[in-house]
Amino acid sequence: MDAMKTHLFFLFFVLVLAFLVGGIPEGGGSAWAQAVSSSRTMSLVKPSSAEDVGLLFYKVSGARPDFGLIIRQTRAYREMNATERMKVLESETGRLSAKFNSLDAKSSVIVIRAAVEMVLTLDPPNKKYTMDIKYPSTGTIFFPYEFSGRPIAVLADGIENFESVALNTQEALKASRHEGRRTVTMVLELKPLSGSYKAPIMLEGARHYPLLAQIGYIGFFSQNMEEVWSWKAPWHTFTGDEGVLMLRPTQRSGR
Burial of 48 (0-12, 13-18, 19+ CB in 10 A): buried
CA distances from 68 to 71, 94, 98, 150, 198 (A): 5, 9, 13, 15, 20
Q: Are residues 144 and 182 in the same domain?
A: yes
Confirm if 190 and 224 have CB atoms less than 8 A apart. no
Position 212 scores a pLDDT of: 97
Q: SS3 of 68, please? A: helix
Q: In sequence order, which ranges of the chain are alpha helices (DSSP H)?
A: 2-21, 50-61, 67-72, 75-78, 82-102, 169-175
Q: Based on the structure, what is the number of domains in the chain?
A: 2
Position 42 scores a pLDDT of: 76
Q: Report pTM.
A: 0.76
Beta pairing, strands 206-221 & 150-157: parallel
Q: Are residues 156 and 75 in the same domain?
A: no
Q: Are residues 43 and 93 in the same domain?
A: no
Contacts of 192 (CB under 8 A, 6+ apart): 56, 57, 59, 60, 105, 108, 109, 110, 211, 212, 213
Position 11 scores a pLDDT of: 44
What tens-digit pLDDT sequence spans the chain (255 residues)? 444 444 444 444 443 333 333 333 333 333 333 333 344 567 778 899 999 999 999 999 999 999 999 999 999 999 999 999 999 999 999 999 999 999 998 899 999 999 999 999 988 888 889 999 999 887 899 999 999 889 999 999 999 999 999 998 888 888 888 888 889 999 999 999 999 989 999 999 999 999 999 999 999 998 888 889 999 998 887 643 333 333 333 333 333
Please state the φ and ψ torsions of residue 17, each to the nearest 5 degrees. -65, -45
CA distances from 201 to 60, 80, 136, 195 (A): 17, 35, 18, 11
End-to-end CA distance of the chain: 31
CA distances from 150 to 54, 63, 144 (A): 9, 14, 10
Q: Are residues 95 and 130 in the same domain?
A: no
Q: Are residues 58 and 159 in the same domain?
A: no
Position 41 scores a pLDDT of: 66
Burial of 208 (0-12, 13-18, 19+ CB in 10 A): buried
Rounded CA-CA distance 203/152 in Å is 11
255 assigned to some structural domain: no
Position 235 scores a pLDDT of: 86
Q: Are residues 49 and 60 in the same domain?
A: no
239 assigned to some structural domain: no
Q: Are residues 225 and 131 in the same domain?
A: yes
Of the candidates 103, 95, 128, the one whose C-alpha atom is nearest the C-alpha of residue 28 is 128
| DSSP at 31 | B
Of the candidates 213, 206, 214, 251, the one whose C-alpha atom is nearest the C-alpha of residue 233 is 214
Q: Are residues 145 and 77 in the same domain?
A: no
Domain that residue 66 falls in: 54-102
Position 255 scores a pLDDT of: 35
Q: Are residues 157 and 206 in the same domain?
A: yes
Q: Are residues 109 and 180 in the same domain?
A: yes
